[in-house]
Chains A and B, each alone.
Chain A
Amino acid sequence: MCSYVSYNEELVGSVYANGEWMTIRKGVVGIEHPIHASIEHAIVLDLREGTGDPSARVAVELDPASARTLAESVLAALDRT
């Protein structure tokens, strides 16, 4: 599936990777062939610093079922606040 589907969202938050915290301002969600995960299609999520540096991001590739489970957990957690 070469879906070309992507959603760009403004975000407020931070990510932690490789021993460093990074403030993020942008998220990009798509469904595509993943580069690393050994599955045919993945929800690909880029959490970006939003400064224009293409490498200033944390990339996530989730199989669609995992992505749905995670999304439902996020919504469930939000509903308890």
Chain B
Amino acid sequence: MSNDAMTARTITIRGHNKQEVEAYIAQPVDRGPSAGILVFHHMPGYDRETKEVCRTFATRGYTALMPNLFHRYAPGAKWPDAAAAAREAGGVPDEQAMGDGYGAIVHLRSLADHNGKIGVIGYCSGGRQTYLAACTFDVDAAVDCYGGGVVIDSPEQLTPQRPVAPLDKTADLSCPVLGLFGDQDHSPTPAHVAKLEAALKEHGKDYDFHMYEGAGHGFFSVDYPNYHREASRQGWREIWRFFEKELSA
């Protein structure tokens, strides 16, 4: 009989500038050493569905840790209120998101049964943060799920909070990238994905991109209107294959 037991709970980690940040951790039970997966939640927030994603990773033998990137804007508030507070503040700066992500990586590496491997995955804005993290930190695998804004259309899209297009950091990419996209997405569009692929090719990076026909932005999101059963099913299959290959000790 397979063992899919896991535990999940809310913890506090040290994030950007050593600040305390709420985070959700899901860990397998009695499975021996496990790889750690940093999960960047999507733009709507640190919600029920993304916690479910963390628990799903744990049932497959991975330790998933998701920092609440909106926590410091409204500590203790309900997640939609925290998301609104973050929006009011102009959104999460990249530097802060990377600081929180790094704190999560440090926490994952400190766990007694860590196997030495770190994966990163993120959805929507979290896909962009995933790509940025993979270009900033030494990790073993990254999954960009329809990250918008990795490729920008004009320099006017750059802001003090998001001063660099992640595409321009491709030379620093530290690991193989799995990219999962929908051909009906408006951000990233198939043209954005093609541009990202060209940059990865140019820099000789290891990548594997999949473009699902008929799928739009957020096709993994079971609580949102663009959930696409077939794209989600195929995407999950690619994620398991990719993490099995890249994150085994």
Residues of A whose CB lies within 8 Å of any CB of B are: 1-2, 4, 6, 8, 28, 30, 32-35, 38-40, 44, 46, 48, 54-55, 57, 59
**A38: B residues at CB distance < 8 A:** 225
Interface pair B84/A46, CB less than 8 Å apart = yes
Q: State A33–B216 Cα separation when bound (angstroms).
A: 12
Interface pair B77/A2, CB less than 8 Å apart = no
Q: How far is the CB of B94 from chain A (nearest CB, A)?
A: 11
Per-position 1/0 for B79-109, Cβ under 8 A of A: 0111111011011000000000000000000
Q: How far is the CB of B232 from chain A (nearest CB, A)?
A: 16
**A4: B residues at CB distance < 8 A:** 90-91, 149, 159, 161-162
Interface pair B87/A32, CB less than 8 Å apart = yes
Residues of B whose CB lies within 8 Å of any CB of A are: 42-45, 47, 73-74, 77-78, 80-85, 87-88, 90-91, 124-125, 128, 148-149, 159, 161-162, 186-187, 216-218, 224-226
User: Ordered nearest first, which 10 A-B pairs have the shortest CB separation?
Assistant: A54-B74, A2-B125, A54-B81, A54-B77, A4-B91, A2-B148, A38-B225, A2-B43, A54-B85, A28-B88
Q: State A4–B81 Cα separation when bound (angstroms).
A: 16
**B45: A residues at CB distance < 8 A:** 35
Q: State A59–B186 Cα separation when bound (angstroms).
A: 25
Interface pair B73/A54, CB less than 8 Å apart = yes
Q: How far is the CB of B12 from chain A (nearest CB, A)?
A: 19
Interface pair B159/A28, CB less than 8 Å apart = no
Interface pair B187/A2, CB less than 8 Å apart = yes
12 contacts between A and B (CB under 8 A): A2-B125, A28-B84, A28-B87, A35-B45, A40-B186, A40-B226, A46-B87, A48-B88, A54-B74, A54-B85, A55-B81, A59-B84
Q: Which of chain A's residues has its CB closest to B184's CB?
A: A40
Q: Which of chain B's residues has its CB closest to A34's CB?
A: B44
Interface pair B80/A35, CB less than 8 Å apart = yes
Q: State A54–B81 Cα separation when bound (angstroms).
A: 6
Q: Which of chain B's residues has its CB closest to A27's CB?
A: B88
Interface pair B42/A33, CB less than 8 Å apart = yes
Q: State A3–B203 Cα separation when bound (angstroms).
A: 28
